[in-house]
Structure 1
Amino acid sequence: MFLVDEPYVSDFLKQTLHDYSLPVVDTPVARELALTPGTPMISEAQAAAMMAESDTPSVCTTSENAFAWIARQSGFSDLSRKVDCFKNKAAFRRLTQPLLPDFAFAEIRTDDLAAFPIETMPLPCIIKPTVGFFSLGVHKVASVAQWPDTVGKILSEIEHIHHLYPTEVVNLESFLLEECIEGEEFAVDAYFNEQGEPVILGIWQHRFSSDEDVGDRVYSTSKALMETHLQDFEAFVGEIGRLAGIRDFPLHIELRRTPDGALRSIEVNPLRFGGWCTTADGTYKAYGLNPYVAYHNQQRPNWDALLKDQDGKVYSLVVLDNLSGIRGKDIAAFDYEKLLDLFDKPLELRKVDFRQFPVFGFLFVETTDWYAHELETILHSSLREFIQRR
């Protein structure tokens, strides 16, 4: 079953749900999201009964906002436990400690941040909400002297982001401080089938503008990237799945390949693919693979066939996050046409209410060069050049 929820459901997913008769739970939010007429719906009572009757209920969400519904309906079920062990980043570090026994991390209550002895952590390190989403509240701490300023920024940001998502999605009561994992970063959509075997549905490299960048601006995928990492990533995801004991379970995992080639997990986002219908939809645009259908039908992609005619093509997801320093309420307009003029082959632009969320939208593009000028330009842009202030 699919649980759709705010803040966004793409037209592509809506059409997929309808065309492939994928059942959607008939929640009040689902009725407000303008699903395609004729989409199969099941009642909340039916869905709750299905979750109660199965040890491994088949559930895929579009948003972590749906976790509140799962918590209400399934209480202390095994499904809720598995969601919590991934969604809570401190719990996830404890779960995967056998894979990284020497990895340094600490969970700190927000009220105790200022007094935390940062000198006890290996530097540089990363701090982020224990329960978080996007890169909200994420900072890199390079030195002991930087700590007071970082704490100040976090406390200031809390005032601006606490209302954006429910506490099941972003909870700012505590933060996770952990050592930096160096190397290339990737975002992976996958699922575990009914036998507990991992199946990779897409791999995207998360690109950064600098060592200090912790944002989400550009993710790219290509035939060469898929062929290079597919086998190793599938084996690594399988190790995490065995620790968690999961079957029939979709997820979005962020990981890094260190300079010596080792794989290190950053976090796992349960019961969904990339947020805001991004990476899963992008995989269809790139390779013609529909991850939602593949998961529901328990299909294993034939990557050799999917990648056959993809030589020389790079597909990128551009997250138009607001790094301008200008608050949404102070922005009169965003020049989307000027933005599109940067790119030789834009595939789709999805606009977002930038007064409600700190993002202007999402853009899918195709290039023939991994380091194409338009990707480098947007990667380093604050987006101020597209903003008209009030």
Structure 2
Amino acid sequence: MIILEKPYVSDFLLQTVRNLGVPVLDNGTARMLGVPSRQLLDEKTFIQAFKRGTEFPLYTNSEDAIPWIHAHLGFSPLPGRLDVFKDKAKFRDLLKPLYPDFWYNVVSAEELPGLDINALSLPFVLKPVTGFLSLGVFKISSSGEWVEAIDEIDSLVKKVRRQYPAEVVNFREFLLERYVEGEEYAIDAYFNASGRPVILNILQHEFASAADVRDRLYYTSKGIIESNLTRFQHFLDRIGELTPLENLPLHIEVRVTPTGEIYPIEFNPMRFAGWCTTDIAADAYGINVYEYFWQNREPNWSECLGGKEGKIYSIVVGDVPKEQRQGKITGIDYEGFVARFSKVLALRKLDYREYGLFAFAFVETGENQRDELDWVQRTDYHEFMAGRPNQGL
């Protein structure tokens, strides 16, 4: 079963839904996308099918579906499971048995300006209790960065209310938590019908600097999978012992310290990597993550990694420069953007006016082609914007 919602549904996901005959909730998004009528279920029929249980566990491409789940599936444990993961404070509470010494605190938005950060241990991370992407996420290392963060949060409030349901992003409460030094990874996984975690992809989330919190570059490779698969499997086994997670897809973000300790950053329920960027697993390893989830399958990693030596598969996020998001951009030079890479597997154009993102690109590079990925971290993308601040924006 699937609930399709904005902001983005890939052709790859749609084709998979059609090929497998997955039941789809009949809503405006599904009809706009042209889902075959034989697969559409009205709300009453969809709820009844969920109660009975079908061969296709419930998945959604977007957390915009969470309000519907809360409103209509309250008879099941699912809304409660979503709350534990979407509410980052509840999530930290859940993890206390595994991380008893991990420091965190919850404060209301009204309390932020008057908070004495000199009484806190620097650096720390400030983020909304309920969030998405890196909206409202800041690494705080000084009082100056604190003031800048508070100012930016004020400017984001209206934008967030317009773009996302409160169940997905809201700035009513914030979490302050210990900053963990180390490499960051994103894991697409699901807990199967027996409650066993199944990992479908692992991506390294690379940052331009220690202060960077952007979602700009993620990549996967044979080396990344082989170096992390076993330890992340054990990590998820431990999480599964804390709460029931059967038939639950998750997009998971963790930090691994230089000494090998794994610290969870967040667990995003009901989906894999957002905006259907999870599809890169098919380009990299031939893994259709949706099929694997719905068919309760596990990758044969020795086969999936065959012939992948020396290759890196990246998700490159094209974000509109902040100073131009309120201005009038007349277009994007997509040809110029694509020309920056030696091998583009897919280019997905986005409504840059609505979300401040103009594209996702799936890119293949060799391990000796770091210059392309390094450029992604350095660039501000101004060269691809038609209409610049110095041209009257």
TM-score range for the pair, normalised by the shorter chain length: over 0.9
Q: Quote the residue 1:15 is aligned against.
A: 15
Q: 1:335 aligns with which of 324, 333, 336?
A: 333
- Give the partner amino acid of 2:288: N
Per-residue deviation, residues 279-338 of structure 1 (Å, max 9, x unmatched): x20000111010100000000110111101111111000011223421154211111111
Greater mean deviation of Cα atoms: 108-117 or 311-320: 108-117
Q: Retained in 2: the 8 A contact 1:56–1:79?
A: no
Greater mean deviation of Cα atoms: 203-212 or 373-382: 373-382
Separation (CA, whole Å) in 1 of partners of 2:320 and 2:55: 39
Q: Retained in 2: the 8 A contact 1:57–1:248?
A: no
Other structure's SS at 2:187 match: strand
Separation (CA, whole Å) in 2 of partners of 1:332 and 1:362: 19
Q: Retained in 2: the 8 A contact 1:216–1:321?
A: no
Q: Retained in 1: the 8 A contact 2:160–2:170?
A: no
- Give the partner amino acid of 2:94: L
Q: 1:1-390 alignment to 2 at 5 Å? A: 1-35=1-35, 37=36, 40-53=39-52, 58-75=57-74, 77-278=76-277, 280-327=278-325, 329-369=327-367, 372-389=370-387
| TM-score normalised by structure 2 residue count | 0.95
Separation (CA, whole Å) in 2 of partners of 1:369 and 1:69: 43
Greater mean deviation of Cα atoms: 2-11 or 233-242: 233-242
- Give the partner amino acid of 1:343: F
Separation (CA, whole Å) in 2 of partners of 1:369 and 1:270: 32
Separation (CA, whole Å) in 1 of partners of 2:131 and 2:330: 29
Q: 1:54 to 1:297 in 2, by over 3 A?
A: closer
- Give the partner amino acid of 1:326: Q
Other structure's SS at 1:203 match: strand
Q: Retained in 1: the 8 A contact 2:56–2:295?
A: no
Alignment length (residue pairs) = 388
Separation (CA, whole Å) in 2 of partners of 1:88 and 1:300: 29
Separation (CA, whole Å) in 2 of partners of 1:76 and 1:178: 33
Separation (CA, whole Å) in 1 of partners of 2:96 and 2:75: 24
| TM-score normalised by structure 1 residue count | 0.95
Other structure's SS at 1:364 match: strand
Identity %: 42
Q: Structure 1: any 5+ residue segments left out of the alignment?
A: none
Q: 1:158 to 1:42 in 2, by over 3 A?
A: same
Separation (CA, whole Å) in 2 of partners of 1:40 and 1:320: 34
Separation (CA, whole Å) in 2 of partners of 1:57 and 1:124: 44
Give the root-mean-square deviation of aligned CA atoms: 1.8
- Give the partner amino acid of 1:8: Y
Other structure's SS at 2:340 match: coil
| C-alpha deviation, 1:241, in angstroms | 2.1
Q: 1:18 to 1:57 in 2, by over 3 A?
A: closer
Q: Retained in 2: the 8 A contact 1:104–1:122?
A: no
Q: Structure 2: any 5+ residue segments left out of the alignment?
A: 388-392
Other structure's SS at 1:137 match: coil
Q: 1:298 to 1:57 in 2, by over 3 A?
A: closer
Q: Retained in 2: the 8 A contact 1:56–1:248?
A: no
Per-residue deviation, residues 149-185 of structure 1 (Å, max 9, x unmatched): 3212211222333211111111111111111111000
Separation (CA, whole Å) in 1 of partners of 2:144 and 2:286: 49
- Give the partner amino acid of 2:262: L
| C-alpha deviation, 1:34, in angstroms | 3.0
- Give the partner amino acid of 1:21: G
| C-alpha deviation, 1:69, in angstroms | 0.9
| C-alpha deviation, 1:370, in angstroms | 6.3
Separation (CA, whole Å) in 1 of partners of 2:202 and 2:210: 22
Q: Quote the residue 2:390 is aligned against.
A: none
- Give the partner amino acid of 1:157: L
Q: Which runs of 4+ in 1 moved over 4 A?
A: 53-57
Q: 1:93 to 1:222 in 2, by over 3 A?
A: same
Q: Retained in 1: the 8 A contact 2:56–2:294?
A: no
Separation (CA, whole Å) in 2 of partners of 1:364 and 1:230: 22
Q: Retained in 2: the 8 A contact 1:105–1:176?
A: yes
Q: 1:263 to 1:370 in 2, by over 3 A?
A: farther
Per-residue deviation, residues 335-388 of structure 1 (Å, max 9, x unmatched): 111111110001111011111111111000000126521111012111111112
Q: Retained in 2: the 8 A contact 1:349–1:362?
A: yes
Q: 1:370 to 1:134 in 2, by over 3 A?
A: farther
Greater mean deviation of Cα atoms: 159-168 or 320-329: 320-329
Separation (CA, whole Å) in 1 of partners of 2:202 and 2:20: 24
Separation (CA, whole Å) in 2 of partners of 1:190 and 1:138: 24
Other structure's SS at 1:284 match: helix
Per-residue deviation, residues 51-90 of structure 1 (Å, max 9, x unmatched): 3456999211100000011011013631000001001111
Other structure's SS at 1:299 match: coil
Separation (CA, whole Å) in 1 of partners of 2:373 and 2:242: 38
